Structure 1
């Protein structure tokens, strides 16, 4: 039997994204050369939200895009075929830009590695940074987020589910204990 509880609700997620947006601006010394690239599916929504916040703070519309990592995953042979997703990069591309990859949960690091591989096909950024809503630990690769909304130590048997109002009807981060299916 599994037990679920919300570890973040809508206002918590709002505050975390606001803080991350400010941290991005501080670290990059403004938004001029920043491009936000979301990893589907929820990373794209989070990247859009970060872009909106940065625009509110700086008055500058920041380029936001998405990157399909399907063909760069190292687990392609372990399951059924996956449909290809859409890569939608800003018109000016990523060359010479500070690219902030955005995703919802950082776990093993394999999704981020796939995103880095996919990104390398589209140009050469000046720097790549990583913004994550939830870091749950258990890294299998040497990957660390630059911006973290919430560090959430978990057991490997637990599951973290991010719900966003645009795709799921509500903002929440749910931790499922026990039978994590």
Structure 2
């Protein structure tokens, strides 16, 4: 396995000794380009299309997808079709995790009634974050259709929820964790031996079950995420 470290004060600060790079920056860019095309195709154009990112990493992903759509669809305005949907107060683990800080919800000026809404998140896991997002969405209107786009789907669903657009299907065991780092939200990740070969400004890492010293490092990273299940696992 490859040892990974973060540029955070000391160059020897480890994310995990055994983390494996699943997607690097180039891979992330490619899968977001594909997802953008899939969204336009499924929507049969951009009419009534609204992208809503789920904080923390879902929103910058939605921004990137919106820009990619705009680059090929001149009538698509990212500013008026992009928003952020916070689900903090709708989570079913809120009583057990009271330290979560709500993020602002930004619904486009045209609202979501009758719109084709695409929820965007980073990792799909149990499905509980998406269930909370659907509950939150109902407080802001009644979309015509709701679809889901995720950067990675690691399986192990606890609710009957599936993604319509997936960057990477990633089979995992439940004792592994999936970590996502984005330029907009995280400090860069660097290979311990140097990062000349791969740009990890954006990346998806698969981390085996941690033990001993590794458990401390992985645990610190997981507390920054959006979900109780793991770093960014929804």
- Same fold, TM exceeding 0.5? yes
Q: Provide the residue aligned with 2:119 in structure 1.
A: 101
Distance 2:119 2:130 in 1: 8
Distance 2:181 2:103 in 1: 20
1:178 is aligned, of 209, 221, 224, to: 209
Helix, strand or coil at the partner of 1:160: strand
8 A Cα contact 1:6 1:173, kept in partner: yes
Alignment gaps of 5+ in structure 2: 1-15, 189-200, 211-217, 220-234
Alpha-carbon shift at residue 80 of structure 1 (Å): 3.2
Query: If you compute each CA radius of gyration, which structure gives the higher value, 1 or 2?
Result: 2
Counting only pairs closer than 5 Å after superposition, residues 4-15 of structure 1 correspond to structure 2 as 4-15=19-30
- Are 1:61 and 2:92 matched, yes or no? no
8 A Cα contact 2:121 2:149, kept in partner: yes
Distance 2:209 2:86 in 1: 32
Q: Provide the residue aligned with 2:52 in structure 1.
A: 37
TM normalised by structure 2 equals 0.75
Q: Provide the residue aligned with 1:151 in structure 2.
A: 169
- What is the count of residue pairs matched by the alignment? 181
Alignment gaps of 5+ in structure 1: none
Alpha-carbon shift at residue 2 of structure 1 (Å): 5.3
Distance 1:2 1:115 in 2: 34
8 A Cα contact 1:136 1:151, kept in partner: yes
TM normalised by structure 1 equals 0.96
RMSD: 1.2
- Are 1:120 and 2:135 matched, yes or no? no
